Amino acid sequence: HFHMFLTWVETHRLCGRMRVGDMQARPHQRITKYPLLLQAVRSWTEHTGTAQALTDMLVSVNSFLAAVNTYLQTRADQSSLRETAQRIEGYQLLEGGGEELDRVRERETERQRDRDRESDRDKDRDRDNSDSERDFEASYQPPTPSP
């Protein structure tokens, strides 16, 4: 049902043939242009009080954009850190020599084979789902608007 909704939204005349991803990016793209607009207006403003107000707005908008960028960078850094921590958590210090190391190596090799088999099954399932979605898209007829 969600896929049908997306198709309907993306073909709706008010959406201007934009895809949902484009619609999500648009507000962020627009807000990054505000400083340019305020600078242009300020450069043509002759009244000192108005020019100062525009300068104050420009400082506020730039501060807001810097805060958004900092927030997004912090989230990206935290995500990267979590991924790295998850990879590291599986490692343990081995005490002793050869036999224990061989057992651990065998166990980890088998675990990796299991993960590879699971990954292959996921890829096959994704490919099957993709084929089903393509078949659905080819046969889907959007509802006709009533007058």
Distance CA 58, CA 55 (A): 5
The pLDDT score that the predictor gives to residue 59 is 95
| Angstrom distance (rounded) from CA 16 to CA 68 | 28
d(CA 13, CA 54): 36
The pLDDT, as a whole number, for residue 97 is 60
Burial class (CB in 10 A: 0-12, 13-18, 19+), 15: middle
* Separation CA 136–CA 1 (nearest Å): 11
What is the chain's Cα-based Rg? 27
pLDDT value at residue 99? 76
Residue-level pLDDT at 127: 73
What number of helices (H) and strands (E) belong to the chain?
5, 0
pLDDT per residue, tens digit, the chain (147 aa), is 777 877 777 777 776 666 666 665 566 667 788 888 889 999 989 999 999 999 999 999 999 989 988 998 999 999 888 888 877 776 665 555 677 777 878 888 999 999 888 888 888 777 776 666 666 556 655 556 655
